[in-house]
Amino acid sequence: MPGAAQVDTNPTDVTSIHGAALSRRGFIGAGGMLMVTLGLAPGLARAAAGAKLDATRPASWIEIHADSTITMRTGKCDFGQSSIYTAYRQVVAEELSVPVEAITTVISGDTDRTPDGGGTFALLQNAAGNMRKAAAYTREAVLELAAQRFGVPRGAVSVADGVISGGGKTARYGEIVAGADLHLAIPVTGRLGDIIGLAVAGNPPLKKVCDYTVIGKPVVNPILRPKVSGQTQWVGDVKLPGMLHARAIHPATLGSTLLSPGKLDQTQFPDAKLVQVGNLLAVVAPDEWQAVQAADAVAATTRWTAWNGLPTSDKLAEHLRGAVNWAEVPTTKSAAGKGDVTVAGAAKAHAAGYFMPYLKHAPIGPTVSLADVRRDGSVTVYTHSQNPQCLRTAIALMLGAGEDKVVIRTYPGPGHFGRSNGGNAGSEDEAVLLSRALGVPVRVQWMRHDDMAWSTQSSAMVSDIRIGLAADGSIRTYQATHSGPPMQDDRPIGALLAGLPTITAPDLDSKSPIYSPIMGVADQWVYGAVPNVLETGRGTLQIGQRESPLKVGLRDHSMRTPIQFQQNFPREVAISEAAMLAGCDALQFRIDHTTDPRVKAVLEHLRAESGWDTRSSPAPHASAAGDQVVRGRGVSMMLRDNGYWACAAHISVVPATGEVKVDRMTLVADPGIVINPLQLKRQAQAGCLMGISEALHEEVSFDSGAITSIDWSSYPILTMAEVPELKIVIAPFAGVEIYGQGSESANALAAPAIAGAFLDATGKPARRIPLRPKYVKAMLA
Amino acid sequence: MTTLTVNGEKRMVTASPDTPLLYVLRGELNVMTPRFGCGLAQCGACSVLADGEEIRSCVTPIAALEGKEVTSVDGLPARWARHNGLAPDPSRLHPVQQAWVDEQVPQCGICQFGMMIKVTELLEHNARPTDAEIKAALTTSGPSPHLCRCASYAAIMDGVHRAAQIMADGSAS
């Protein structure tokens, strides 16, 4: 494609395809291609022009090649969801009416090779819709060309299974584009560096859901074979000539500044160098093991200021309840609010406080990045970001450079569940600063303790819930107040330590809707039959951020179902407690309080599939004491991204020891259109098991200055031995024509179902996680 | 100089004898499938076989491995071929790898290199493990449990049973 640009400025002819511009730049001898590019509104042109360093490589969504193979591109990345290699290909193949195998190449993430940007989240809900529309425009353009070729009206042309037919003639996609240099510029809105990225605009005709043949098939993930055979190059595997290995020496606390760097013994570590950029301290060496050892030695003698700005994890709930001034940040109310929750005359009342601890994304591999800053100011970062365009913006801002100078190349890396969906996972900016300082490529590999102590975390929440029951046992009033720190800090830590510019923190004066301390109510209300409802969100700054001289403190970041998990747990546990108070079955009680047929359907499926015994809690042999095993079952429910999910947990508890064991989990999902049942099942299974991990084990501990969960013994997660019997039931509600989401709800629902089962087994509520023996014994005391 | 046998090849390495094997494999020998996870023998992402026994390469100095046969996931297909007298075939995966594809086991996949090593060790000693034996192998048999943050454990269980079946079919034919 010689000299191709994003928007054709001198086309030989232009045809409008439902608002997209199809142009033919002439004919070329061999090959031929239809390339789908960005059609930009005038104000957006600059942002997109910076999308690439190499102007001869146009950013393109979909390329149809002369041999009928198809390349598709997405700014999103894979972190184990498989969606961009399975569901995305199915969505594009479906709209084009080609076999899914025709899409032979998926180019992902790289800022100079993909068009749309945006974070890797809500893949099926948001981003797949973009691919669907881009494919629909493409199909319409090719069918228009086919009509011209066949000499028939457009209405006489159709396509099925990759074959285009009309007027008695047939051709494959490749034959229509062969020999031509075709460009289709589709209309888009949004901004490349935004967290959501660009969206495809307009309304091309979409294939009817009832005509689907590719969506709904269990397409396998094509990247797994190269991964398990060892052929895939992962982010940590990239090597460049002259590259140095770096280990950062992070401050002693989340508020400590550097007093004096430790001594680097050059006789012991002859090839190592110490680099300091503000409070960012690192050791580099050509040999990785030497860098590790030298950094350990230097760290031992490095002096930092003392800082004690954290409340400690033991006193966190107390701090959130007593020490935070919740009046600093405007409160919010949910859209579910109605009636008057102060109405008198409740026959029975439930009022309780709930607590969710800080959690870690905790990827199995600590973050690792490689940066190459050249003398000409160009920067290439090799990393595993969930939002490469946002990372690019952050790196350019940190360096005071134009975004056109920065390219982010992405590689497979460890799943980290949202931590980098606004750009950085942790090491990228440090690699850039060290490479700039040394003039050679630098690879920064965080050690386990760096990744635990210096990454962001999913933030804590306290909730107060009051439920008033009418004389007939139905809920008359529901009142919830959710209070917690914000959940999205995308400031790179290396830039903060170095004292360089960053994007805004979630501060009081932040104008950003994303980087904001305002606490919304994220958990969608599903109990529409309750007459009086009031849900309030109260926000504050990140704990310790204001007090930290580094402006660091406990930096928070979204994880899987951010905020919704923290608000759904107290709601669902409180509903189970209210059901017990009313003398009702916890599952039937939920059905009785909904007006949404999809809620009812998913709960009725759950009752049948889980072997649910309908009765009130506690269980007949429930006990809060003794060394005999007691058993119980609990239920939870979540509506998220138009997907309805419900979960039943069957557990065993030994009251005397505080041991909780999950015996059986049943999960029912109604996600709307199921794009790939095989991958959905795998995602739901794993999401649910990770949820058990959070319910039983996980809590970030910290002292008055630093995170003390620094390895897998101080931050334990679920092991294979604890895996229960697990049943996933996919039961889409008939007639729902939207793509539903994957495993996030499965992840969130485990904890409230387990807590409901705990209530059933012991008669005592579990109003916090994790259900570690220490906390369980306190709950039962 | 230390001499190591890695995936069937004798390799001379210049790293000091106390260097952990992981850094030598990845840095000097370009054997990239063992992963850095914790450096503390707490997760299993770096596991390799040494004479058929799983070890954690992040804490094992190369001096301890002289004269031993080190196998990483890269070397599993050749190991299977050798044990079963099969002609080399670059398209053939080890049954455990094949099962991991067939059952769509990995999510992100970073832990799976260690998982596949541990499962290979298990199946070489126990051709038909029960669920309980699989759980024990991946939880209590080594220095630490093999951890998967994606929690792909249900898929791993399916994968082990599938691998056992492929192995049984392979040795029967």
- List pLDDT tens digits, range A191-227: 888 888 888 889 999 999 999 999 999 999 999 999 9
Q: Strand pairing partners for A190?
A: A198
Q: Which residues of A touch B105 (CB under 8 A)?
A: 224, 228
Residue-level pLDDT at A26: 61
* Minimal C-alpha gap between A718 and chain B (Å): 8
Please give the CATH topology (third level) of the domain spanning A235-307+362-454. Aldehyde Oxidoreductase; domain 4 (3.30.365)
Q: How far is A743 from chain B (nearest CA, A)?
A: 11
Gap between the Cα atoms of A453 and B10, Å rounded: 40
Chain A with chain B: Cβ pairs closer than 8 A: 171
Mean pLDDT to the nearest integer, A570-584: 98
Which residues lie below 8 Å from residue A414, measured CB to CB, with a gap of 6+? A363, A364, A365, A384, B108, B110, B149
Q: In 3-state terms, what secondary structure has residue B62?
A: helix
pLDDT digits (tens, 9 = 90+) for B85-102: 999 899 999 999 999 999
Across the beta sheet with A332-333, the strand order is A332-333, A532-539, A475-484, A461-469, A348-356
**Cβ-based contacts of A295 with chain B (< 8 Å):** none
Cα distance between residue A180 and residue A32, in whole Å = 5
Q: Does the pLDDT at position A156 exceed 60? A: yes
> Region A125-145: what's the mean pLDDT?
90
Q: Which pairing describes strands A368-373 and A348-356: parallel, antiparallel, or unpaired?
A: unpaired
pLDDT reported for residue A54: 30
Residue position matching structure tokens 């039959």: A529
**pLDDT value for A9:** 37
B135–A686 C-beta distance less than 8 A: no
- In sign, the C-alpha dihedral spanning B124, B127, B130, B131 is positive
Sorting pLDDT into bands at 50, 70 and 90, what band is A60? Answer: confident
The one-letter amino acid code at A423 reads: G
Phi first, then psi: give them for residue B52, nearest 5 degrees: 85, -5
Q: What is the pLDDT of residues A665-688, one digit of tens each?
A: 999 999 999 999 999 999 999 999
Between CA A474 and CA A193 the distance in angstroms is: 49
Distance (Å, whole) CA A243 – CA A552: 30
- Asked if pLDDT for residue A8 goes beyond 80, the answer is no
pLDDT for A649 beyond 80: yes
DSSP state of B78: H
Tokens of A50: 């910076």
Among B144, B59, B107, CA closest to A415: B107
HSE on the CB side for A694, CA within 13 Å?
31
Going edge to edge, which strands form the sheet with B9-13?
B9-13, B2-6, B69-71, B47-50, B53-56
Please check the confidence at residue A260 and state whether its pLDDT lies above 60. yes
- Answering whether pTM is above 0.90, one says yes
Among A472, A466, A606, which residue's Cα sits nearest to residue A536?
A466
Rounded Cα distance, A575 and A638, in Å:
13
Comparing CB atoms, the residue among B37, B101, B146 nearest residue A228 is B101
Asked whether the beta carbons of residue B97 and residue A228 sit closer than 8 angstroms, the reply is yes
Residue A49: its pLDDT value, please? 36
pLDDT of A2: 33
Contacts of A243 (CB under 8 A, 6+ apart): A286, A370, A440, A441, A442, A443
Element (H, E) at B164: helix B153-172
Interstrand relation of A379-383 and A406-410 (parallel, antiparallel or unpaired)? parallel
The two beta strands, A280-285 and A244-249, are: antiparallel
Contact yes or no for B153 and A711 at CB 8 A = no
Is A13-228's fold the same as A235-307+362-454's?
yes
d(CA B84, CA B68) in angstroms, rounded, equals: 21
Beta bridge partners of A702: A707
Write the Ramachandran bin of A590: left for phi over 0, alpha for psi from -120 to 50, otherwise beta.
Answer: alpha
Is pLDDT above 50 for A1?
Answer: no
Q: Are A35 and A184 in contact (CB under 8 A)?
A: yes
Tell me the shortest Cα–Cα distance from B153 to chain A, in angstroms: 6
**Residue B134: its chain A contacts at CB < 8 A?**
720
Task: Answer whether CATH 3.30.2310.20 is correct for domain A13-228.
Answer: no
Nearest to A686 among B26, B139, B151 (CB): B151
Per-residue tokens: A724:
């229960």
pLDDT higher for A457 or B170? A457
Burial of A210 (0-12, 13-18, 19+ CB in 10 A): exposed
How far apart are alpha carbons A30 and A394 in whole angstroms?
42
Q: What is the pairing mode between strands A442-445 and A244-249?
A: parallel
Q: What integer pLDDT is reported at residue A48 of this predicted model?
A: 37
Residue of A nearest to B41 (CA): A712
CA distance B4 to chain A (A): 18
ipTM of the complex model? 0.98
| A744 contacts A349 by C-beta, under 8 angstroms | no
Q: State the DSSP H helix or E strand holding residue A538, giving kind and residue range, or none if neither.
A: strand A532-539
Q: What is the mean pLDDT of chain A?
A: 92
Q: Which domains does chain B have, with CATH numbers?
A: 2-74 (3.10.20.30), 76-172 (1.10.150.120)
A461-469/B69-71 β-pairing: unpaired
Q: What is the rounded distance in angstroms from the CA atom of residue A490 to the CA atom of residue A505?
A: 7
Q: In the numeric block, which tokens belong to residue B123? A: 């199946």
Contact A772, A358 (CB under 8 A): no
Give the pLDDT confidence score for residue A522 in this predicted structure.
96
Residue with tokens 């890695």: B6
Distance to chain A for B68, nearest Cα, Å? 22
Domain ranges of chain A: 13-228, 235-307+362-454
pLDDT in tens, A398-450: 999 999 999 999 999 999 999 999 999 999 999 999 999 999 999 999 999 99
Q: Is the dihedral of CA A4, A6, A11, A16 positive or negative?
A: positive
A414 touches chain B (CB under 8 A): yes
Res A57: pLDDT: 33
| Tokens 């060496």 found at | A285
Q: Convert the pLDDT of each residue in A552-566 to its tens digit.
A: 999 999 999 999 999
pLDDT tens per residue, range A529-546: 999 999 999 999 999 999
Cβ contacts of residue A698 below 8 Å, gap of 6+? Answer: A357, A359, A360, A362, A715, A716, A717, A769, A770
Q: Which residue of A has its CA nearest to B91?
A: A229
- Between vectors from CA B36 to CA B26 and to CA A267, what angle results, nearest 5°? 65
Tokens coding B41: 């023998």
Residue A513 vs residue A26, higher pLDDT: A513
pLDDT (tens digit, 9 = 90+) per residue, B42-77? Answer: 999 999 999 999 999 999 999 999 999 999 999 999
Rounded CA-CA distance A414/A369 in Å is: 12
- A393, A208 contact by CB (below 8 A): no
pLDDT at A512 over 60: yes
- Taking contacts as CB-CB distances below 8 angstroms, the residues of chain A near B113 are 230
Tell me which residue in B27, B109, B154 faces A723 most closely, judged by beta carbons: B154
Q: Give yes or no for residue A339 having a pLDDT over 90.
A: yes
Distances A172 to A69, A99, A158, A162, A164 between C-alpha atoms, Å: 10, 12, 11, 6, 6
Short-list A589, A682, A221, A488, CA closest to B155: A682
Nearest CA in chain B to A411: B108
Q: How many helices (H) and strands (E) does chain A have?
A: 17, 29
Q: What is the pLDDT of residue A41?
A: 40
How many CB atoms are closer than 10 A to CB B136? Answer: 15
Q: What is the pLDDT of residues A266-280, one digit of tens each?
A: 999 999 999 999 999
Burial A216-230 (b: 16+ CB within 10 A, else e): bbebbbbbbbebbbb
Residue B110: C-alpha distances to residues A80, A272, B136 (Å)? 10, 29, 21
Contact A683 B107 (CB under 8 A): yes
Give the Å distances, CA to CA, from A661 to A664, A684, A713, A724: 9, 20, 19, 9
pLDDT at A297: 98
Counting residues of chain A whose pLDDT is more than 70, the rounded percentage is: 94
Q: Do A711 and B38 touch (CB under 8 A)?
A: yes
pLDDT at A37: 59
